[in-house]
Chains A and B, each alone.
Chain A
Amino acid sequence: MVVDTVGSMEAVTDLTLREIGLATSKVLGRSVDVANDTHIGRDLAVDSLALMNIIMELEDTFDISIPLDRLASVETAGDLASLIKDLRNRA
């Protein structure tokens, strides 16, 4: 039971990471690989404007609002995935 829960959480995180990768590729106009520890600024060369545009895509993908002030703590794709998970639970 416990294992199942952890397993499905991981699956959710993987799915979220995949969507982050798709949104990033769409905004940057090039394909990117995204893992949990991918640094959004350094590894993907995403500037502040591009990040805000990626957020707009993800809001539509998950049908949630992602307030910009919540991005202050986001450095890696994993951080962003947890934020999205958080906001989906809140909804």
Chain B
Amino acid sequence: MGLFDKHLAYRDAYNAIRQAGADPFSVRFDAVVSPTEGVINGKRTILLGTNNYLGLTFDEQAIASSVKAVQERGTGTTGSRIANGSFEAHVELEEALAKFYKRKHAMVFTTGYQANLGVLSTLVGRGDHLILDADSHASIYDGARLGHAEVIRFRHNDPDDLYKRLRRMKDVPGERLIVVEGIYSMIGDTAPLKEIAAVKRELGGYLLVDEAHSMGVLGEHGRGLAEAAGVEADVDFVVGTFSKSLGAIGGFCVSDMDDFDVMRVTCRPYMFTASLPPAVVSSTVTALRRLEEQPELRHKLMANARRLYDGLSGMGFVTGPTSSPIVAITMPDTERAIGMWNALLQNGVYLNLALPPATPDSRPLLRTSVSAAHTDEQIDQVLAVFAELGVAMGLIEAPLQRVSA
């Protein structure tokens, strides 16, 4: 038995996908020229799968503060904050996040993945219970595995199922932490947070919401689903990332709970990794301010999402339950999903191919994420490509021709 033998089935499946055309899991960009446009194999391509919701990756002010930071503070921190200390920008970013979310405490992590790994494995321990939505992101499952709490799943977005499972353990000792996401990354649906908060209030426990895809996207001020659903007081912890709406990399957790800061000396994924470099922290501080200053970005994002969602649904593509900045198109089978993905790329549209088991219901998806930086013309061009390829591949019916009298 070789070390990689257990992965050979994946290798074979991966090779089969690559033989069908380009490699969807290793696309190489010759250049990225704006938040919405790149060059792939010499061809200008519309970027429709980059989670760059507000288009802030090329924000001039964010770039300027990043450049200033790298010149003044160097390229990296070369260590963790408990060993090498914090730069003033780390503290500034944590204060800005706490203020933005109107919470007492904020802690910054080096990636969003590590934020979930750290927070979930530290908040609950042996004898406690972690209650996860079944469609949780891999970082949530991995955080659950890193800790020692007992892990129970409830059916996706089903508050009654959550209620039943919490009731079932009502006499069992230990704390309970319920974990849901603001927007689920695969098909863009949101959690029924009001109802979930009501279950938490009735049966007890703590509630954590991962707003990775909803920060800067949902809520009047961009604080995410908790704000949009009007239940921020019921949400004990918000986890999020800087790698989507804020256009950088990094993760965070905010909370009002006393003693939150003890995690700085108990949370291993925070303690034993290098902290974010100055350039990233500074661009993130600026991007957060830009998010707050420009609610119009959020409005444009939602309008773009609606334009794409309505356009695709209207043609007959199978899309998710609601219009959101993540628009996923369910494909009938993996072969056609791969074929369509390749054809879209050849026609200048880049999006994500998502294959089971990373998708709900074991069905392949073409996953798009819209940006506030997309123009109406870009969305219309994408729709035109989808219409042409969809008919050619038998995924949708050709539009009815007007019969002349």
Show the binding face of A for B, using Cβ within 8 Å: 47-50, 52-53, 55-56, 59-60, 63-70
Q: How far is the CB of A22 from chain B (nearest CB, A)?
A: 18
A65 touches B165 (CB 8 A): yes
Q: Of A53, A63, A67, which one neighbours B152 at CB under 8 angstroms? A: A67
Asked if A64 contacts B168 (CB within 8 A), the reply is yes
Interface size on B, residues (CB 8 A): 16
A59 CB, nearest partner CB in chain B, Å: 7
Which residue of the partner chain, among B153, B172, B357, contacts A68 with CB atoms under 8 Å?
Answer: B153
* Residues 134-163 of B at the A interface (beta carbon under 8 Å): 134, 144-145, 148, 150-153, 155
- Most B CB contacts (10 A, CB to CB) among A66, A68, A70 go to A68
CB distance from B200 to the nearest CB of A (A): 17
Which DSSP category, helix, strand, loop or mixed, fits chain A's interface? helix
Cα A59 to Cα B168 in complex, Å, equals 10
Does B398 reach chain A (CB closer than 8 Å)?
no
A-B CB proximity, top 5 nearest: A67-B150, A68-B151, A49-B357, A65-B169, A65-B152
* Closest beta carbon of chain B to A83's beta carbon, Å: 13
**CB distance B168 to A53 under 8 Å?**
no
Kindly state the separation between the CA atoms of A63 and B164 in the bound complex, as whole angstroms. 9
Q: Given the complex of chains A and B, what is the CA–CA distance between A55 and B129 in angstroms? A: 16
B357, A47: Cβ atoms closer than 8 Å = yes
Q: CB within 8 Å of A: which of B85-103? A: none
Q: What are the residues of chain A within 8 A of B145 when measuring CB–CB?
A: 69
What are 22 sample pairs from A and B whose C-beta atoms fall under 8 A apart? A48-B357, A52-B134, A53-B134, A55-B153, A56-B134, A56-B153, A56-B155, A59-B152, A59-B165, A59-B168, A60-B164, A65-B150, A65-B152, A65-B168, A65-B169, A67-B150, A68-B150, A68-B151, A68-B152, A68-B153, A69-B145, A69-B151
Cβ-closest chain A residue relative to B167: A63
Docked CA distance A64–B167 (Å): 10
Which chain A residue has the least Cβ–Cβ distance from B154? A56
CA distance A49 to B153 in the complex (A): 11
A45, chain B: closest CB distance, angstroms: 10
Q: How far is B151's CA from A2's CA once the two chains are assembled, in angstroms?
A: 37
